[in-house]
Structure 1
Amino acid sequence: MTKNDRKNAYLYCMFRDEQYALYDNYAKKNGLSMKTLLVLNALYYAKDGMTQKEICQKTFNSKQTVNLIIKNMLQEKYVTIEENPADKRNKFVKMTEKGRTYAKDTVVHITWAEDTAMSLFTPEEQEQLIELSRRFTKNLTDLINSSQEEDEI
């Protein structure tokens, strides 16, 4: 590992943290936690609803976090929970009209900003960004989950 590798890792992680802070500040500005914003976003675009397990997978939140967010959204009547006739153990969480109205401006704006920011890259740059980010995430996951020590690398 070189000094340049360390510098670039620092810069990449700093940009990631800056993006995280952007989302967090945006959520707070709209009276939400970032985790709630992620759940609202997932449900807003899931016209037929989603199971809580699917929400966890899509938002990278724990079952407990998603369950608490859904309970709060149920109290506000932003969502309903419907049984899956094919599998009664899995229930679908669906946004109500009240929930869709509540989430619309916030979710549509952040989606527009993401889509527009990506559109400012060429198609080739978009592919590179996605592929390199995917590889970095996989490498990071593998290294975090490995038993190697830093002096072995």
Structure 2
Amino acid sequence: MNKNDRKNAYLYCRFRDEQYALYDEYAKKNGLSMKTLLVLNALYYAKNGMTQKEVCEKTFNSKQTVNLIIKNMLKEQHITIEEDPGNKRNKFVKMTDEGRAYAKDIVVHITLAEDTAMSLFTPEEQEQFVELSRRFTKNLTDLINNGPGEE
């Protein structure tokens, strides 16, 4: 690892943090926490609903966090919870019509912004950006989980 590697890692992480702050600010502007925004987004696009476990996997949130968000959304009547007839232990979380109406502008706006931002790259740049981001995330995951000491 050299000085340029450190500089680029720093810059990339700054851009990532800036994006995180944008999402956080957007969520707060809409009266939500960022984690709630992520759950709202996942459920909005899951037309047939999803299990809480699937919500956790899709949003990278803990079971406890998702459970708390689901309880709040249930109180607000934005979702329903239905038992899976095939497996009573599984419960599907689905948006109500009121919940979909509430989430529509919030979720569609952010999705359209993401899609438009990506569309400003050429198809080749998009592919490269996604592949490099995937590799960085995999490398970072491997290094954090198995990682080297500090240098």
Deviation by residue 1:95-122 (Cα, 9 ceiling, x = unmatched): 0001001101000000000000000001
Partner amino acid for 2:80?
T
Query: Hey, what's the Cα distance between the residues in 1 that align with 2:125 and 2:22?
Result: 22
Deviates more, 1:71-80 or 1:139-148: 139-148
Query: Hey, what's the Cα distance between the residues in 1 that align with 2:66 and 2:8?
Result: 34
Query: Hey, what's the Cα distance between the residues in 2 that align with 1:115 and 1:56?
Result: 23
Q: How many residues align?
A: 151
Which aligned pairs between 1:109-124 and structure 2 lie closer than 5 A?
Answer: 109-124=109-124
Q: TM-score, normalised by structure 2?
A: 0.98
Which aligned pairs between 1:1-150 and structure 2 lie closer than 5 A?
Answer: 1-150=1-150
| DSSP 3-state at the match of 1:48 | coil
Cα RMSD (Å)? 0.7
Q: Hey, which bits of structure 1, 4+ residues long, moved more than 6 A?
A: none
Gaps of 5+ in 1: none
Partner amino acid for 2:15?
F
Shift of 1:147: 4.7
Gaps of 5+ in 2: none
Shift of 1:149: 1.4
Partner amino acid for 1:63?
K
Partner amino acid for 2:150?
E
Query: Hey, what's the Cα distance between the residues in 1 that align with 2:38 and 2:147?
Result: 32
Q: TM-score, normalised by structure 1?
A: 0.97
Q: Percent identity?
A: 83
Query: Hey, what's the Cα distance between the residues in 2 that align with 1:121 and 1:39?
Result: 28
Change in 2 beyond 3 A, CA 1:147/1:5: closer
Query: Hey, what's the Cα distance between the residues in 2 that align with 1:140 and 1:98?
Result: 40
